[in-house]
Amino acid sequence: MTAGERPLSGRHALVTGGGRGIGAAIARALLEQGAAVSLLGRDRSTLEAAAREMSALGEVACFTADVADPDAVSAAFTDAAARGAIDILVNNAGQAHSAPFLKTDAKLWRDMLSVNLEGTFHCTQAALPGMLDKGWGRIVNVASTAGLTGYAYVSAYCAAKHGVIGLTRALALELAAKGVTVNAVCPGYTDTDMVRETVANIVQKTARSAEQARAELAAGNPQKRLVAPEEVANAVVWLCLPQSAAMNGQAIAVAGGEVM
């Protein structure tokens, strides 16, 4: 496939949390489809390392911001738009922390909502005007199966991700006749640094081994495995293609059949 044949050639995609895990996999997949990609995250060194690794695939640049900080988001998106208006926004940045509900203090609650939900809000508000000006855009929110069902001991995270799904559906209807689609991809437990941190937390708090903890997380997937980041990226990129214009307001589980 030549550059001219790639379906996202000429499009500019911004991926939050693009320096590692699912975000980095999404960025690579978008580059392979011809998009110019901007990576946004808090850790400049992580972003730059990812950009160097991806540079052979296409045009990639880095921008630093905490998605929970609206002023930092606005400044970073303005800088990124100097590369061209943002056509594709992937809201991937997120955090997950567990605690029993009665041990979920106000700070933990705010942290989960500020990054997972408010960050999606801030970044979407920053990118949307350019999409509306063009009459074309793709917004894909990386939510979670936690946005579709309940999980014990992660009430704040579940609440935030349910909020992301609600925002996705409401905005999809608002923009349906304006050339911009809004969808969510909902991974189950995925083989990333975040899940490795979850495994370490289980090991620390229980008598389980790392292998037992990973097996416990994988057990909820009918395929009895963790999802690969590339599988999530494949779903995200499909939603961004010109041919996917009829996909709007959807929350697609990438979880081996865990949620139907």
18 to 48, 100, 210: CA distances (angstroms)? 10, 30, 27
16-53 b/e with 16+ CB inside 10 Å = b?
bbbbbbbbbbbbbbbbbbbbbbbbbbbeeebbeebbee
Question: Quick one: tokens of 184?
Answer: 């969510």
User: Which residues does 144 contact at the CB level (< 8 Å), separation at least 6?
Assistant: 94, 96, 157, 161, 186, 187, 188
How far is the C-alpha of 42 from the C-alpha of 48, rounded, in Å? 11
- Pinpoint the alpha helices (H) of 69-114: 70-81, 106-113
Angle between helices 119-134 and 70-81 (to 10 degrees): 30
How far is the C-alpha of 117 from the C-alpha of 75, rounded, in Å? 19
> Which residue is catalytic, options 151, 153, 157, 189?
157
Assess contact for 120 and 167: CB atoms under 8 A.
yes
Active site residue 157: yes
254 to 89, 165, 227: CA distances (angstroms)? 19, 15, 8
Give the residue numbers annotated as catalytic, written as ranges. Answer: 157
